[in-house]
Structure 1
Amino acid sequence: MTDSRCAWCGTDPLYVHYHDTEWGVPEYDARALWEKLVLDGFQAGLAWITILRKREAFRAAFDGFDPDKVARYGDADRARLMADPGIVRSGAKINAAIKGARIWLDMRERGEDFTAFLWDFVEGRPVQNAWTSMAELPAQTPASVAMAKALKARGFNFCGPVIVYAFMQATGMVNDHVTGCFRHAEVRAFGGGARI
């Protein structure tokens, strides 16, 4: 713990701000959830701070993560993204993002709510954990294993159980701020509402 914060964010101002304002706050917007899932996929094999530092460049490169636009990307867009030094230039991850946008749109067209689909794995309400140290936090849970399996069954890529658990933490599906962190109680208050 540093200054009553979870130790993982260290002292980097960007990371501290992310921890203090965003990490663990319940997210219910379907587009924002897809963006975070894509960014967590790009994180695979990298540190989250790397993605956080590039997030605005990612948003510019991927048209604000508008699934309607990203789903229409073709070879020229792939080449443009592979040449963009502001993002992680991985052909497999870029292709996964484009494919994911198409799946997201297909779900919407079939009347499926992406938000409800994801939040159903925690019964529509944030899981309130009470870890006292970072060492207690799991890398994955049965819920993240189930969500990863369901996402993969839909055709999403770069969404294994560990990546999905990080996504669940980031989007407030679980409150994994340790109990000594000042954000634990604040984030817990965000999750006290009715199930979606």
Structure 2
Amino acid sequence: MKKQIALLAIASMLAAPALAAPETFVVDNTHTFPRFEYNHFGYTNQIHRFNKTSGTIVWDRVKRTAALDITIDATSVDTGYALFNGHIQGEDFLHTAAYPTITYKSTSVHFDGDKPVAVEGELTIKGITRPVRLELTSFHEMPHPIAKKPAIGANAVAKIKRSDFGAGKYAPNVSDELTLSIAVEAIQQ
């Protein structure tokens, strides 16, 4: 009888991994770049990015749930021009002296089958929080060929208004509406 109980206990331990649990993925800062695009006086669309992003994505394949907690270092804004980087970090725009980070925390994730397709969440810029929906234009999961761990990646897009976050100076000459494009890769912890 003791052998049967021991065998049953071992069998249940081996079967446990089949019941997938939520997995935590850490944002890969070397392959994650939030970008923002706006129209500049009708001449061109300007595209800039942030160079430092951190955070986690918790994903449960079986239950089809996910949660994002992302932090962007607003002082890492990169326009390609140091003087303009400082201008964007000033009080009229990001005011990084008082608000050095931008955060996004999901409230829900929508799936189509097994793939996430949209994320509802709260975006905080300059201490102002607004609901923002990210549409996922792609999602991919596979073992990372270098890290040798499970990894996920996605591209997301959303439109926001600068003025909603206290950064509307020069609108409408510099468009109030921004397009956010976020390329994110994350590796399982």
TM norm. shorter chain > 0.5 = no
Q: Which has the larger radius of gyration?
A: 2
What TM-score comes out, normalization by structure 1 length?
0.27
**Which one has the bigger helix percentage?**
1
What TM-score comes out, normalization by structure 2 length?
0.28
**Which one has the bigger strand percentage?**
2
